Structure 1
Amino acid sequence: MNKVMKWSAAAMAAGILIASSGFTGEASVLAAGNIKNTVQQTPVALKWKGTKLSQKGLMSEGNTLIPLTVLRDQLGLPLSYNPGTRTYSIGSGYTQLNMEVSQHGVNTNINNYYLYEYEVKNINGRIYVPFKLMNDYLGYQGAWDPSTKTLNISKRILNPITIKTETLEKATSDAVYLLHYPKVSGLVNSDAENVINNVLEQHMKKFNEESIKEANNRDDSIEHAYQYIQNYMVTYNRNGVLSLVVDQYGNTGGAHGGTIRTGFTFSLKDGKLLTANDLLKKSNPTYRTMLNKDLAKKLKAHEGYLGGFKALRANPDFNVSENGMLFFFQQYEYTDYAVGIPTFAYPFDQLLPKGTDPFKSYK
């Protein structure tokens, strides 16, 4: 099922009762036939900005898990609950984490963008958030002390900008449109701000125009209306650089819908849309040679590989993350639909000489 469409199925599939005492105590989840977790877990001591917390995290299957109540009580994030959709929401704006809890588990999205590689868990009636998710998308970092099994959590220093979600929503007899796109403000350079916002808005408008044209020629044999949805996720917002991915989904009545993903990485100094070459080529002129060889190996290892990969395009699809760069390919570009959008992560120390700062020119 496509990421951007899962919200509807998740809402219908939710089948448990959630309770909380006015959010003054622990957020609790009461599941019908709730089975006590049998996976071995090790307690993890937690600190917030150096101060030890009374609540503890868990180490489970190699992942450090943080109680949802720590995010509310110590980190100060607003927590709400929607009983209609059985969804907890923590935080606000483009980093709001939404957790739809059911007997099947917890479906997780940030700002309506679904994440499958991070598993929020309901363990014995308590919700736990993977620290890796907090590190990658919520703006937090951690220092691990192996001798005391303690994780010291602190806030990252983000770019001093505001990111607001704008929405175009409409419905006709032929199609339903729900298009979310970001708008930035607070940049020192107002011209750069306008350039960035124009790129992102025009990207949305082009999708909307093409969708309207397609819907106007809708096949009358299709019973339901066409569906067009756009969501985005900010993946990096530090060091004078803003990186995000935008997913555009369309369902026109075939066997399944389809998604096109676009990565945008901007310099906040001048609004320039950065390429992989801008970040890598000066310090490593041969980075593409390494990537082409490694990507060919990884793509061929995919069970759904269709063949055809020889080398990256001149301007490959990518986005920046807290851990490096993510290079991705579109559905059916080299793999079948079941693979989704194949994405390959590379830390900067694998792409560049050790100690190189890829953002030096943009700070």
Structure 2
Amino acid sequence: MKKLTAVILTLAMLAGILCFSAAAGNKKAPVLLDDQALGADALIDGQTVYLPFRAVCEALGYTVSWSDKDGAATVSAARDGDVVSIDVTNLKVTDNGHLYNAAVFSGQGVYLVSGRTFIESGLFSTAFPAGASYDAKSGRIALSRRYENNVSVVNESVVSQDDYLKTTVQYPQLSDLADTAAQGAVNDILKQAAQSAQIEGQKNAADMAQAIKDGFRSAVGMCETYFNYMITYNQSGLLSVVLSDYQYTGGAHGSTIQTSYTFDLSTGQALKLSDLLDGRTDYTAYIDTVIRKEIDKRVAAGDLSEFDLAPFKDIGADPAFYLANSGVVFYFQQYEYFPYAAGIQEFNVSYSELNQMLNSAFRLLSDGPVTLDPKAENALSAGDIGRVTLGGNPTTGYTWHYAVSDSAVLMLASESYQPSGDPGVGSGGAYVWDFKALKAGTAAITFKYYRDWEGEASATAANTVVYTVNVTE
């Protein structure tokens, strides 16, 4: 029986390989990180990019391993406590304890081709702090590192089953955020959303039990609640979380409600679109036009059908949206404008398109961080991100330590260390810090490079760097 199972799994994977190879037409593109080719090509299927998993992960400093246990092929990548595993056989991702499907809008997110794992670029960007952009003219793919917020995300889960209800719930909780009040506000919102899904499932199950007790033979006997999430943006002091609430109460299929929150981590506030975009601009009309054109394009291609009696006209006063790494994504619920089979349709409006419509406090979404200069007075506006990059070598025992003279003016948003890429032990790399400007004022950031056991007093003038930042509203 075990041999038969293994054969079936092998055939299933082989079918996926053959389907992908035929669809992709063997089109390849070189992958570059910091303008250096990785020596491994990505595969291109139309506009969808599939990255070579091992080569990309190793270039980013991850250790990659392969397992084929109990008939399931799994590839894993680990770096500094960050562990991502992909079940290639069953198409599941375990991202630091968070389990979700390896599926993307265009179809399957992971393929095995000639014994090598390829992962769709958007799925890769969800699981790893990096992105990929494909330039069709040059035929090249550029990888870019992403510096995520200085916060930990803990996966909380509830799994249970009784006679009438199967419950699978996962939701995120933040830890290690400097502002504990802001952290608590975010966690309360996310936990309450998960609890509301559980309560709805319990009510559905109670109704099912009563229906069966009352003799309704058509009652199926088992309800289901499946609640999950995706973190779609985690940079520059902003966090976007998409929640998916699936409820099955009988019948041909269940229903899914998608909600989302975008948080300012300096306050814990859930932001509306009107907080991000400048009301003095006609941003709603522009977004309406972009979405209308994309709907028409999908309909014309035969990929979508729209209800004739209630077609899309505008996003309304308080639209559903979330932040992605590439832009603001708007979405519509099942049956809102399209049939159930269309699922939840999403429409991305790039940050570059919205650049002149963003409020000044959120212009960083399109402009990115400002590189700080220790030899000059640096000017930031409230909401801007100032970036510091310093070289170092942790294998020597030396580390950079920093102090901000006024934490009400500047807040640490993220910090990370990137190896140089030289495979030699002790080759060093770059430390990167992002600081968010909070309000008007002047603050100094002082960095000192020393060994912890030797103390701050051991830092010489040559190992001390000071950045002066003036923030305006």
Q: Same fold (TM over 0.5)?
A: yes
1:261 aligns with 2:283: no
Question: Structure 1: where are the runs of 5+ without partners?
Answer: 1-11, 19-28
Give the match for residue 149 of structure 2. Answer: 159
Which secondary structure does the structure 2 equivalent of 1:128 belong to? strand
> In the alignment, is the contact (CA less than 8 A) between 1:317 and 1:328 conserved in 2?
yes
- Out of 14, 34, 43, the position equivalent to 1:31 is 14
Give the match for residue 88 of structure 1. Answer: 74
Give the match for residue 66 of structure 1. Answer: 51
1:251 aligns with 2:265: no
Q: How does 1:12-23 map to 2 (within 5 A)?
A: 15-17=8-10
> In the alignment, is the contact (CA less than 8 A) between 2:264 and 2:271 conserved in 1?
yes
Report the TM-score when normalising by structure 1: 0.79
> In the alignment, is the contact (CA less than 8 A) between 1:94 and 1:165 conserved in 2?
no
> Kindly tell me: are residues 313 and 101 of structure 1, through their superposed partners in 2, closer, same or farther at Cα, counting changes over 3 Å?
same
Give % identity: 23
> Kindly tell me: are residues 83 and 30 of structure 1, through their superposed partners in 2, closer, same or farther at Cα, counting changes over 3 Å?
same
Structure 1 residue 186: Cα displacement = 1.5
1:314 aligns with 2:317: yes
> In the alignment, is the contact (CA less than 8 A) between 2:169 and 2:194 conserved in 1?
yes
1:119-178 Cα offsets, whole Å, 9 max, x none, are 433323322123343345522135778898654534311111111110112212110111
> Kindly tell me: are residues 32 and 43 of structure 1, through their superposed partners in 2, closer, same or farther at Cα, counting changes over 3 Å?
closer
Q: How does 1:1-363 map to 2 (within 5 A)?
A: 15-17=8-10, 31=14, 35=18, 37-38=21-22, 39-49=24-34, 52-75=37-60, 76-79=62-65, 81=67, 83-84=69-70, 86-91=72-77, 96=84, 98-101=86-89, 111-114=98-101, 115-117=103-105, 119-135=109-125, 137-142=127-132, 151-218=141-208, 219-220=211-212, 221=217, 222-282=219-279, 285-296=281-292, 298-299=294-295, 301=299, 302-305=304-307, 307-308=309-310, 309-353=312-356, 357=363, 359=365, 361=383, 363=436
1:50-105 Cα offsets, whole Å, 9 max, x none, are 65534443445444432222245443155454644725253479984634437xxx
1:158-215 Cα offsets, whole Å, 9 max, x none, are 1111111101122121101111000011212110000000000011111111221221
Structure 1 residue 306: Cα displacement = 5.1
Question: Structure 2: where are the runs of 5+ without partners?
Answer: 366-381, 385-435, 437-473
Q: Which amino acid aligns with 1:340?
A: G
Separation in structure 1 between the aligned mates of residue 83 and residue 333 of structure 2, nearest angstrom: 25
Structure 1 residue 245: Cα displacement = 0.4
> Kindly tell me: are residues 253 and 87 of structure 1, through their superposed partners in 2, closer, same or farther at Cα, counting changes over 3 Å?
farther
Separation in structure 1 between the aligned mates of residue 82 and residue 331 of structure 2, nearest angstrom: 22
Separation in structure 2 between the aligned mates of residue 304 and residue 116 of structure 1, nearest angstrom: 22
Separation in structure 1 between the aligned mates of residue 92 and residue 131 of structure 2, nearest angstrom: 23
Provide runs of 4+ in structure 1 moved above 6 Å: 92-95, 107-110, 143-148
1:305-345 Cα offsets, whole Å, 9 max, x none, are 25424432322111100111111111112211011011111
Give the match for residue 21 of structure 1. Answer: none
Q: Which amino acid aligns with 2:207?
A: N
Please identify, of 299-308 and 341-350, the stretch whose mean Cα deviation from structure 2 is larger. Answer: 299-308
> Kindly tell me: are residues 81 and 352 of structure 1, through their superposed partners in 2, closer, same or farther at Cα, counting changes over 3 Å?
same
Q: Which has the higher contact order (CA 8 A, sep 6+)?
A: 1
> In the alignment, is the contact (CA less than 8 A) between 1:16 and 1:32 conserved in 2?
no
> In the alignment, is the contact (CA less than 8 A) between 1:307 and 1:335 conserved in 2?
no
Matched residue pairs, number?
338
Q: Which amino acid aligns with 1:68?
A: F
> Kindly tell me: are residues 91 and 32 of structure 1, through their superposed partners in 2, closer, same or farther at Cα, counting changes over 3 Å?
same
Structure 1 residue 304: Cα displacement = 3.8
> In the alignment, is the contact (CA less than 8 A) between 2:84 and 2:93 conserved in 1?
no
RMSD over equivalenced CA pairs, Å? 3.6
Structure 1 residue 296: Cα displacement = 4.4
> In the alignment, is the contact (CA less than 8 A) between 1:136 and 1:322 conserved in 2?
no
> In the alignment, is the contact (CA less than 8 A) between 2:133 and 2:141 conserved in 1?
yes
Please identify, of 41-50 and 192-201, the stretch whose mean Cα deviation from structure 2 is larger. Answer: 41-50
> Kindly tell me: are residues 193 and 278 of structure 1, through their superposed partners in 2, closer, same or farther at Cα, counting changes over 3 Å?
same
- Between structure 1 and structure 2, the one with the greater Rg is 2
